[in-house]
Each structure stands twice: as C-alpha cells, then as structure tokens.
Structure 1
C-alpha cells in the first residue's frame, strides 16, 4: 500500500493542482463580470455550458475563424478598461461573424442597430457599413459598454443592458428592489426579458469554456492556446477607390482573406473619400505592404466609359452592375446630366466585366418595377423599403440601387 501510495501520489497531486488552478480561474472570470462565486452553480448556465461542450466543434470553429482579430479585440477592450472577457459578448452576439446581420437590422460583430451605430460615429453609406468594421465597431462597443458600466456600476449589468437596453434594465431593478443578479434572473418573477436572462448566462458559459486551458490541452484544439495571442492585424491607409484585388496581388494574400478582414466595404474597393481610407491586413504582411504598395492612378484600375448618344447614368450603372450614385461620386458629378463623348471612371475590377452586387442586400431597379412589386418579391414591407432608402413617396427610376436590408 505504501508503494502504491507513492506511485499514485503525483497523479493525485497533479489532479488536485489542476482542479485548484481551474477553480481559481473560474472565480477570477466571474469576478471580472462582478458576479458572485455561487453563480458557478446556476443550473441553466451549466446546462448551456454542457450543451456547448457537447457541440464543441462549433465553438472552436468560431474561435479558429476569428483567430486573426481576437488579439485586436482584446487590446481595444483593455484600452477602454473593459474586461477582456467581454470578447465572449461578441461571440454571443454574432459568433465572431463580421458580416452577421439580424432580422432587426443589427449588423456586425457587436450587432449594432443603425441608430446606436451613428451615435458612436460608425459610418453607414453607399460604400461602407462600419458596424462590420472589426476595429471601429469594437471601439464603439467598448465605449458603449463603458458608458453602461458607469451608469449601472457593475459589469454584468452593463452586459444585460447591452442586450435589453438601459431603460428596460432600470425599470427591472426598480421592480426587483435590487440589482443583485440572482434576483434579476428569477425565472418566476421575470424582472428582465427571457432573452436577457439567458444572454448573460450564455456569455459566462462561453467565457468559462474559452478560458478552460485544461480542456483545450486535452483536445485537438490545443494549438488555439498560442495561436490566439500570436496573430493580429494592422491598419493601413489606401488611396481613394483602391482595389482589394490589386492589393491582394501585391502583398500575396488571398482575396477571400482580405475581404474577410474588411467586411465594412460594400464593394471590393475602398470608398472614393478624398483622404483615402483605412483597411486591415494581417500584421505579418505589414512590411511587404510598406515595401510594395504605391498609389496607382485610378484609370489603371477601373474602366473608362465614353458616353454615347441616349445613355444615362442609370443605364451605364446597370451595364456595369454599379449604382449610378457611385459613378456620380467617383466622377465628382453635380447632376445626372451627361454629354456625348464624356469620359466616366467606372469602379470595376479589371478582369471582370461586372461588379457583382449582393442581391440579398441590394436591388437594381428595372423597367416596370414599382416599390410595391419589389417589396413583395423580396418579402419585406413597403414601409421598411421606403425607410431603408429614405423614399417618402413612390417614385423610383430605372438604375436606382435600393437597399433591401440595412
């Protein structure tokens, strides 16, 4: 028995140390949300955690897809004194998909609604939707969460308010007579909406799994332990209208990866803003960018169209698959009037005839279309279609590019 004890003692000791280490990490994680240690025994949260662990491939696929920008998100959160564990709020919101879009018109990693996005200076126009900008949207989310924390005093309250709104949470606290989490989550009293009661539990469950190094070490995803800290992105400025295809060729990065890092762009080129535009590339490509990237005259990248008799901006835009508004902006036109033999710059990739539009999000008006027929064809309300496109009446014309979902 003595020898058996000596043989197995290191194993028992290691198991005990591992348990203590994991337990301390879990308590530290709860503390970062200002949550009491007893929450570790919350049955609904533990069911969520167990369910995610059973389907762990989905969880780690999301982590693997986001490995390039997770360090950037953590750095931005730290910059605004938001606990890094709020990374998992983004996971709960969008599964780390920058192109995520909800039926309530929320978009991006942090699922900002248009009104809140504009409040935090995220640009939404013909060329960009910065709710899908992984850096700018994270900065906006960090500022928003900081403001909610300042208002409510606890991080778990900031997370709940992020989901249901500060007004709704304020009413719930008054009704409950306390801001204690265990009371607010009461399934019988229902002080806060069910979605919010499950929301905070989901964030904590995801964070507990993501911070469980022992689980990672004993799975096929051990490489994520180092990978999440080793990779990051860099911000670089490109010329107005710069082509992503050209940049992809210059710095030897797949166009698909470059587009994934720059989901804020509605087209495969930077907007034609006079001061240029910041885009994102992998940090390991920064030196190559600085060495090789040079601004190129726009006519070497885009099509030059010579206006013929009877052509209009709408007809030309339809031919190339580009909104007439884009053509106006690129050519600094103050009206829709054209003259024969006028030269227009069309922002279109050199190797393709047409710039494909995302037809789920946009629709180019054709002859015979009406607002009502377009709304019915795409299963959206006429009221919503008007609101998306700032149309007060019913007038539309051939070549107009309408937003279907903001």
Structure 2
C-alpha cells in the first residue's frame, strides 16, 4: 500500500523539484545580469530583505507601484535596451522612487530616477520655470541609462554601477582601493564598512525587488498574475505639440481625463508647454495615438504664457510695463487679491504673441565654456545690457543659468 502511495506521489514530488529548480535557475540568471555570483542567493541579509520586501509590498507597495506604472514600464524597458542596460535595472527606479515622477528628496534629488540638479544638467535635462525634465518619464530614463552605461564602463560590472549610482563613483573608487578588491561580499562587509550602510542595503533592495518581480509562481499564488502580461498590452506614445499648448485642450481632444494626462507629464510645471520652443514632447497612452493624429492641429494662439519671478523693487505695474500687458490682467490672471508682491513670487504672464516674438531668443541657456563676453558678442548686445536685464551684480555665470537677452 505504501509503495502504491509513493508511486502516486512521485510525479508531484518531481514537479515540485522541477519548479524549485526552474525558479532557482531564474534567480541565478537574474544575478548574472548584475554580474553577481550565484552564491549570493544565500546572502543572509538579502534573504531577510526579500522576505520582508514580500511582506511589505505584497498588497500595498510592490504591486501597487507595478500596477500604477503599467502604462510606461514597457517604454522604460525599451530605453534601457537601447543603451544595452539590463532590463532588471527597472527595479533601481523602483528602489529610488516607487516609479513616482513626483518623488523628491531632502537632498534635492527629483523624479523617478532621483537625479540631482548637477547630474541632470550634465545629461542635458532641462530644469527651469517651465519644465523639470528629471520628472520626464522618457528623457530621465534615457539620462539614467546613459549614466549607468558610463558607470558600467568605468567599473566593469553592473552591480558596481548600481552601487555607484547610489553613493557616487568617487566614493566607490576609494572604497575599492581600500578593500583591495571589487568583490561584492567584501564591499558589503558590515564591520569594514567600505561603502555606506545605505549603499549596502541599496544593492540588496534592488535584487530583492527584482527577485520578487521575477517569481512567476509567487505572483500567481497572490492573484497578481495579470502583472506578468499587462505591461505588454499597454504602452506610451510620444507626441509633439506646439509651444504654449495646453494639456487641458489635449485632454478634451482625445477624451482622456486631465488628471491622467498630467500624471504622464509631470515634467511640465504648468498646464502649458514651454513658450520658447517651436514644439515640445508630451506623453499620451498609445491607444490614444491614432485619435491624436486625426484630431490634433496646432491652434493659432493669441497669448504665450511666460513665468516671471518677482525681483526686489518690482511691482505689478513695472512687470506689466516690461511685458506690455496691463497690470490688471496680470492681477486677474493670477487671482491676486492685492497689488502687493512677494520676493521670488512666480507670476504667469499672458503675453500677446503680436507684441512679443519668441523667435528672437528671449533667453539663452549658459553652456560649458560660455562667458558674458562671448554671449554678448554672439547675440549682438552689450555685457552691461545683459547684466542689467538679468540683475547680475558681477560677470559670474554658471552652466545652466538662464539669461534674458531682450526686454
């Protein structure tokens, strides 16, 4: 009888063994994408974190973040692939921000990939009154892929690129020199503390998230198997719209809730695209692309919306005079209840297109190697004029500074 029972149970035991073997092989392959040896699967802290991550993210964080990001995850994977960065680095973005483009840290890091201003400008992400492209789903992902590619080229291994992304390339270089090796287990030594505690946890967190996301059986058991395929059915489309175009108008044209459209375009500081370029990229669900192509035609706009930051000594009257707009219009447009302004207060100015051309370079973004003298000569204005218009006390300018070149 016992022999008969064992014969019946044998296929189930074999299936369980095959399932374990299959899952284990997948986990080993996942570690290989990070250039990590398979023995790290037995890292005590990784397994503790993996269990705690599963418990923590089971119903609230992990699955909610994956579900919320379903529409753009495929496009981000495409971007990573374009730069030959392993798709599993998607979980770096999850570790940084839970895929939130609105994420902001005390250290001034912003966006899904948590770029600091200096690094963002290095990778040509625009940050000014109109946009913060660290919040741009695609442009920030391209910048992150470029940065990770640079770190991988510098350190030679993907796990080192991930660690350097967190603690900085300089810090990691010094840590490797002190340790005498770039071996992961050595760098993660809690007693030697070659790298910061945050970074020691950081690489494990990325791996823990990736292992959970890679575990198909776990997703199915918890009724989240739809996440395995949902991302393939939806995607994001990039479309070009005219300068000063309103998201409100686009939402009505293609029949998408404004809140949903804004969520895909958090890089825009206001409801409108920058007024100083001919066209600008925004994102819509791919399923709306055909409708957009059929219905969208740039309108002949009467006003361009500019953002003005109040400087010392300015009044509504002087600002209105500068932009040739009645100060009462500025007051009404910004729903001001008083004429008194605060220093550094931001006002949206509806500037008449007929009175103000943006094709004559309203402002100039300072690039590497620029000086006030070179900018003045190139734009046929005096240094004194630039200093006066931009309220500069000396000739010092920095990369990324925005200089107005005409009244």
1:238 aligned partner = 241
Structure 2: distance between partners of 1:51 and 1:390: 54
Q: Say if 1:249 and 1:206 are closer, same or farther in 2 by CA, change over 3 A.
A: same
How far does residue 7 in structure 1 lie from its aligned partner after superposition? Answer: 2.6
179, 201, 206: which one pairs with 2:209? 206
2:319 aligned partner = 313
Q: Say if 1:392 and 1:154 are closer, same or farther in 2 by CA, change over 3 A.
A: farther
User: Is 1:272–1:330's contact at 8 Å kept on the other side of the alignment?
Assistant: no
How far does residue 38 in structure 1 lie from its aligned partner after superposition? Answer: 1.3
Deviations 1:265-297 (A, max 9, x none): 000111113321010011111111111111112
Structure 1: distance between partners of 2:145 and 2:228: 24
How far does residue 301 in structure 1 lie from its aligned partner after superposition? Answer: 10
SS at match of 2:210: helix
User: Is 1:313–1:324's contact at 8 Å kept on the other side of the alignment?
Assistant: no
User: Is 2:303–2:350's contact at 8 Å kept on the other side of the alignment?
Assistant: no
Q: Say if 1:254 and 1:183 are closer, same or farther in 2 by CA, change over 3 A.
A: same
The TM-score normalised by the length of structure 1 is 0.77
Q: Say if 1:9 and 1:152 are closer, same or farther in 2 by CA, change over 3 A.
A: same
Q: Say if 1:33 and 1:153 are closer, same or farther in 2 by CA, change over 3 A.
A: same
* Stretch of structure 1 that moved more, 164-173 or 14-23: 14-23
- Does residue 190 in structure 1 map to residue 193 in structure 2? yes
2:40 aligned partner = 39
User: Is 1:184–1:190's contact at 8 Å kept on the other side of the alignment?
Assistant: yes
2:159 aligned partner = 156
- Does residue 257 in structure 1 map to residue 270 in structure 2? no
1:102 aligned partner = 105
Q: Say if 1:227 and 1:332 are closer, same or farther in 2 by CA, change over 3 A.
A: farther
User: Is 1:272–1:329's contact at 8 Å kept on the other side of the alignment?
Assistant: no
How far does residue 391 in structure 1 lie from its aligned partner after superposition? Answer: 8.7
1:8 aligned partner = 9
How far does residue 26 in structure 1 lie from its aligned partner after superposition? Answer: 0.2
User: Is 2:33–2:86's contact at 8 Å kept on the other side of the alignment?
Assistant: yes
The TM-score normalised by the length of structure 2 is 0.77
2:123 aligned partner = 120
1:307 aligned partner = none
Aligned pairs (5 A) from 1:4-403: 4-55=5-56, 56-57=58-59, 58-299=61-302, 311-313=317-319, 315=327, 316-321=329-334, 323-324=346-347, 326-327=349-350, 333=356
Deviations 1:86-120 (A, max 9, x none): 00000011110011111111100100000000000
SS at match of 1:100: coil
Structure 2: distance between partners of 1:136 and 1:18: 40
Q: Say if 1:301 and 1:24 are closer, same or farther in 2 by CA, change over 3 A.
A: same
Structure 1: distance between partners of 2:176 and 2:299: 58
Structure 1: distance between partners of 2:119 and 2:198: 20
Structure 1: distance between partners of 2:239 and 2:288: 11
Q: Say if 1:154 and 1:232 are closer, same or farther in 2 by CA, change over 3 A.
A: same
Query: Could you say what the CA RMSD is over the residues aligned between the two structures, in angstroms?
Result: 2.4
Q: Say if 1:332 and 1:237 are closer, same or farther in 2 by CA, change over 3 A.
A: farther
Q: How many residues align?
A: 333
User: Is 1:69–1:232's contact at 8 Å kept on the other side of the alignment?
Assistant: yes
Structure 2: distance between partners of 1:176 and 1:250: 59
Mind listing any 5+ residue stretches in structure 1 that lack a counterpart?
303-309, 335-388, 394-406
User: Is 1:248–1:254's contact at 8 Å kept on the other side of the alignment?
Assistant: yes
Structure 2: distance between partners of 1:330 and 1:273: 12
Structure 2: distance between partners of 1:331 and 1:165: 49
How far does residue 10 in structure 1 lie from its aligned partner after superposition? Answer: 2.6
SS at match of 1:298: coil
1:376 aligned partner = none
SS at match of 2:302: helix
SS at match of 1:3: helix
User: Is 1:233–1:280's contact at 8 Å kept on the other side of the alignment?
Assistant: yes
How far does residue 318 in structure 1 lie from its aligned partner after superposition? Answer: 4.3
